[in-house]
């Protein structure tokens, strides 16, 4: 897969609600589009996104072809403790991409 952009605050107060933004470059080919030769371009989308905070799942999403190319998702979570926030995108072939971000909670 492609490049991922993640926006997580580096520092947060304990119990603070932080906003997380995640974007990954991916064509999100719907399978409904015709290519230059007139045949349908095969479907190839990211169908699942999972965010874990120190190993515990805090947010996930099932995506369909109606999600725009380079899927962008913004959501919130409570900053509970310092550690690692992990992002995983999984496509139709079951291939995944993993990115991580560190957060310091004081």
Partner 1 sequence: MARLDGMRANRRDVLAAGAGALSLLLTRPARATPESMAVAIRSFVGEATVQKGRVALDIPALVENGNSVPLKVTVESAMTSDDFVKTIAIFNERNPQPNVANFHLTPRSGRAEVSTRIRLGDSQTIVAIAQLSDGTFWSDQAELVVTLPACVES
Q: How far apart are CA 61 and CA 90, in angstroms?
A: 11
CB nearer to partner 1: give 29 or 99: 29
- Closest approach of partner 1 to the CB of residue 79, in Å: 9
Window of 1-9, 74-82, 83-91, 96-104 that interacts with partner 1 by CB under 8 A: 74-82
Q: Is 89 in the site for partner 1 (CB under 8 A)?
A: no
CB nearer to partner 1: give 30 or 86: 30
Q: How far apart are CA 33 and CA 30, in angstroms?
A: 7
First CA to last CA across the chain, in angstroms?
35
- 97 within 8 A of 88, measured Cβ to Cβ: yes
Q: How far apart are CA 79 and CA 68, in angstroms?
A: 29
Q: Is 25 in the site for partner 1 (CB under 8 A)?
A: no
Q: Is 101 in the site for partner 1 (CB under 8 A)?
A: no
Q: Is 55 in the site for partner 1 (CB under 8 A)?
A: no
Q: How far apart are CA 83 and CA 64, in angstroms?
A: 31
Q: Which residues bind partner 1 (CB under 8 A)?
A: 17-18, 30, 32-36, 38, 40-41, 53, 56-69, 71-78, 80
């Amino acid at each position: 897969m492609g490049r991922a952009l993640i926006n997580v605050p580096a520092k947060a107060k304990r119990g603070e609600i932080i906003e997380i933004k995640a974007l990954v470059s991916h064509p999100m080919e719907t399978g409904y589009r015709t290519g230059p030769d007139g045949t349908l371009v095969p479907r190839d989308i990211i169908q699942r996104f999972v965010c874990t905070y120190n190993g515990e799942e805090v947010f996930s999403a099932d995506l369909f072809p109606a999600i725009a190319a380079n899927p962008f998702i913004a959501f919130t979570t409570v900053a509970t403790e310092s550690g690692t926030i992990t992002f995983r995108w999984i496509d139709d072939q079951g291939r995944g991409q993993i990115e991580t971000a560190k957060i310091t909670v004081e």
